[in-house]
Chain A
Amino acid sequence: MNTTIVAQLQRQFQDYIISLYQQGFLDNQFSELRKLQDEGTPDFVSEVVSLFFDDCAKLINNMSKSLERPENVDFKQVDSGVHQLKGSSSSVGARMVKNVCISFKECCDVQNREGCLRCLQQVDYEYKMLKTKLQDLFKLEQQILQAGGTIPQVDIN
């Protein structure tokens, strides 16, 4: 094990994950998820996050269909999708996605189709952005492990 390389990678990991919290991509719930990961389930966080991104894609697609025709918008269906998305984003600590869902719900409540479309676009952007960021984070984790190191604990408080 090259301890210098491991230390460099660990530092990179720490700086990167802290930046994700500071920029508002993640909140404390992501830390809670990381606490649950253990030797028996070393890929727990990446698996849950993967489920979340699959959820996002499916729900956004469904909501897009519901919002397609201006004369026939099923706001109940859209609201249900937003509720689901808000729930799962909250559960994984996807702060920006969750915040867009809050605005999205408000647009649903007043049946504002244009507002809903803007929020849909925003939530699509935010989840894809987070997906890229987390893929980079998990790559760093793998690099640390392959170099013989351990994933550092990161205190974000």
Chain B
Amino acid sequence: MAEKLPKLAKANLTALVVDDNSVNQSIHHKLLDRLGIQNDIVCNGKEAVDAHSSGRNYDLILMDMDMPIMNGIQATKRLREMGISCKIAGVTTRADEEEKKEFMDAGLNDFQEKPLTISKLISILQNLELYIVKT
């Protein structure tokens, strides 16, 4: 069932999945896993901020928009204020242009509509110059 995937040129990438939904957490974790990207999962924006405050760093953050306690927009703004310069890709089901703009303006590097797929994740990685080299 598993299809062959293009190799990442840059090895040892790390990512943080920020999503309050357990189904999406599972899927995003697996998607990253399949591309060889080690990843952690947190349940909301505050946990993402706390993770970085405690010294953890990632190459990529997949940030959901709607989350309790601290949403994706607030978390992205906070991370940028903290000086976190890693790539942040917003992933949300909200496709409204105004909401998308607000999310991008918070400090995202890229944006994809859910549901995420392998090809959408590859697109994020290519857009963010985290590179994919086709085998």
B66 within 8 A of A: yes
A36 within 8 A of B: yes
Tell whether, in the assembled complex, residue B2 and residue A51 are in contact, meaning their CB atoms are under 8 Å apart: no
Q: Counting chain A CB atoms within 10 Å of each CB, which of B2, B22, B114 scores highest?
A: B2
User: Which single member of A32, A36, A44, A87 contacts B93 (CB below 8 Å)?
Assistant: A87
Tell whether, in the assembled complex, residue A88 and residue B30 are in contact, meaning their CB atoms are under 8 Å apart: no
Beta-carbon nearest neighbor of B26 in chain A? A48
Task: Point out the residues of chain A lying under 8 angstroms from B133, CB to CB.
Answer: none
Q: A interface vs B, CB < 8 Å?
A: 29, 32-39, 41, 44, 47-48, 51-52, 54-55, 83-84, 86-88, 90-93, 151, 153
B53 within 8 A of A: no
CA distance A35 to B1 in the complex (A): 6
Q: Which of B78-95 contact A (CB under 8 A)?
A: 93
Q: Counting chain A CB atoms within 10 Å of each CB, which of B22, B27, B116 scores highest?
A: B27
Question: What are 22 A-B pairs with beta-carbon distances under 8 A?
Answer: A29-B115, A32-B117, A34-B1, A36-B31, A36-B34, A36-B118, A38-B1, A38-B2, A48-B23, A48-B27, A51-B22, A52-B23, A55-B22, A55-B23, A84-B21, A87-B23, A88-B21, A88-B23, A90-B114, A91-B21, A91-B116, A151-B1
